[in-house]
Homo-oligomer: A and B are copies of this chain.
Amino acid sequence: MAFTFLQDKIIAAQTKIVMIIMDGLGGLPREPGGKTELETAVKPNLDTLAAQSELGLTVPVGPGITAGSGPGHLAIFGYDPIEYEIGRGALEALGVDFDLGLNDVAARGNFCSVDGKGNLIDRRAGRLPTEVSFELAKLLRTIKVDGVEFFIEPVKEHRFAFVIRGQGLGDSMTETDPFKTGVPPLKLHALTPDSEKTAQCVNKFVEKARLLMAGKQPANMVLLRGFTKFPRIPMYQELFALNPAAIAINGMYRGVARLAGMTILDLEGDTLKDEFAALEKHWNEFDFFYLHVKKTDTCGETGDFTGKVGVIEEVDAQIPRLLALRPDVVIIGGDHSTPSVLQSHSWHPVPVLLYSKYARGHGNPQFGERACASGGLGILPAKDIMPIALAHAGRIAKYGA
């Protein structure tokens, strides 16, 4: 269904939608026939909600495709993740609240270690403390190249966002990161003529950085990869007539949310309780809230089945706070699966729950992969969840007489 078709039918309403994304929610049993993380979790509040909700499984990108967090989020936000592709560089810059412009090219930077011959010893400079990165970023900001401007924003540990601003900058280039040690960082090459200028300027930057950082062991060089411009995606305001807010601790998720036009809410701390506190505090200011839970994915990635179960149980404990706000529509789902037995993202469809007073509650006794597989939403593209949520929120007009 094309956006233009949907947009024509969007109507105003005084309803509120809350989308809780447990990152990497979908899981797998530890042994054949066993329970997944979500099925194992003791979660009375989510299960009660499930009985009154429509359940389903979302397919983030397409059959068999394992989604990264960027495409996974774009999809659950309602965008076609193949049509709207966000590069890593743009995501990194967005994640640190950098005001990326339409002529800017962004990349992901690493501080790294090279030996006397310039060969890489450690691509991450021993996962440098963030404070050191902060000082090195200040140093790199002194680098000047004619006709362009550089921005260096520390992210966390050895990582920084790199942005080059100027006229006539394309983003179709190779990367300087060789993805192995024992060889020197690579020179950039433009892959299309419109990126020649970018490649030349970035190569000059890298050479100046090398001279400037000499002797700054362990971080005496930089690696740059994932060069991308800001993708233009229609924002929630124009697309869905929503005034959206995002509650997320990690930069990447704040980045994708900002792309969709969401206001990023400040948090008092970095716990789940702080996130729900922000939801309560700003309840009257917005009509769409995205709340991101990172640790389900972190546990999945490290193979911590019990830990992932625990995070789901923590979310469950916050559900009464959410329901006390009397939201009209609640979506609880994930951006992709991260089964702890795989220790990585996976292609498996992701459980989703859609609650509203107009949901066909089928009395499913549990929010889990099994119940969702035969739920009322079916197995559906993740991008279809938002139109359904808008309908439940009374925000889509009838088509035809």
Contacts and interface: CB of A to CB of B under 8 A. Distances in A.
Interface of A: 1, 5-6, 9, 28-29, 32-33, 36, 51-52, 57, 61-72, 81-82, 85-86, 88, 91, 226, 252, 339, 341-342, 344-349, 357-358, 360-363, 369-370, 373-380, 384-392, 396-401
Given A52-B33, A345-B398, A65 B374 contact: no
A9 B65 contact: yes
B70 A389 contact: no
A71 B400 contact: yes
Identical copies in the complex: 2
A63 B383 CA distance: 10
Nearest to A384: B63
Contacts of A64: 6, 384, 386-392, 396
Contacts of A68: 398-401
A28 B72 CA distance: 31
Contact of A377 (B72, B85, B379, B384): B379
A347 B396 contact: yes
Given A32-B51, A342-B358, A373-B376, 18 more contacts: A5-B62, A28-B358, A61-B399, A63-B384, A64-B386, A66-B396, A68-B399, A68-B401, A226-B401, A252-B401, A345-B398, A346-B391, A347-B396, A349-B378, A360-B370, A370-B376, A378-B378, A379-B380
A249 to B, nearest CB: 18
Among A68, A91, A376, chain B packs the most CB atoms within 10 A around the CB of: A376
A11 to B, nearest CB: 11
A356 to B, nearest CB: 11
Contacts of A399: 61, 65-68, 71, 81
Given A63-B384, A374-B373, A400 B29 contact: no
B360 A369 contact: yes
Contacts of A374: 373-374
A7 to B, nearest CB: 12
B396 A33 contact: no
Nearest to A66: B398
Among A226, A339, A388, chain B packs the most CB atoms within 10 A around the CB of: A388
